Amino acid sequence: MTIINLNGFPFECACGECFRTISAAAGCRKCRNYCVFGYCTHVIDQRTGEVVHGTEPTEEEYNEALLEWEKARELERLEMEQWEADQRAEEIRFFEARAREAAELAEDQLWDIQERLEAC
């Protein structure tokens, strides 16, 4: 017989986080990020191995949710790449504008020097 030390946290939610009570496990906030469904689908009592809250999804339901999750992550990745490209373009425009200002200032200073030399 294998002895499992649960340290007072016998209830496991869908994402694998362990809690002291069923209600705490059922309201797990980590499932939003770590479970393909985006919410806690079920809670398992690790002492008995039975589902004590919700229903464990079938393999088909899980695979469907996984495909949707992967699509959402890909869309999120594409949006992030576009945002980063926009940020880089904005930085380039900013530094180009500063370079033009610096060039104009240098030209103005050269004109001032030329005018002073001609006045002598």
DSSP code per residue over 34-83:
HSTTSS--EEEETTTTEEEEE-PPPHHHHHHHHHHHHHHHHHHHHHHHHH
Domain ranges of the chain: 7-57, 58-120
Q: What is the mean pLDDT of the chain?
A: 91
pLDDT at 65: 94
- Beta-carbon count within 10 A of 97 CB: 10
pLDDT at 33: 87
Kindly report, residue by residue over 61-109, the tens digit of the pLDDT: 999 999 999 999 999 999 999 999 999 999 999 999 999 999 999 999 9
Kindly report, residue by residue over 1-54, the tens digit of the pLDDT: 445 556 789 999 999 999 999 999 999 999 988 899 999 999 999 999 999 999
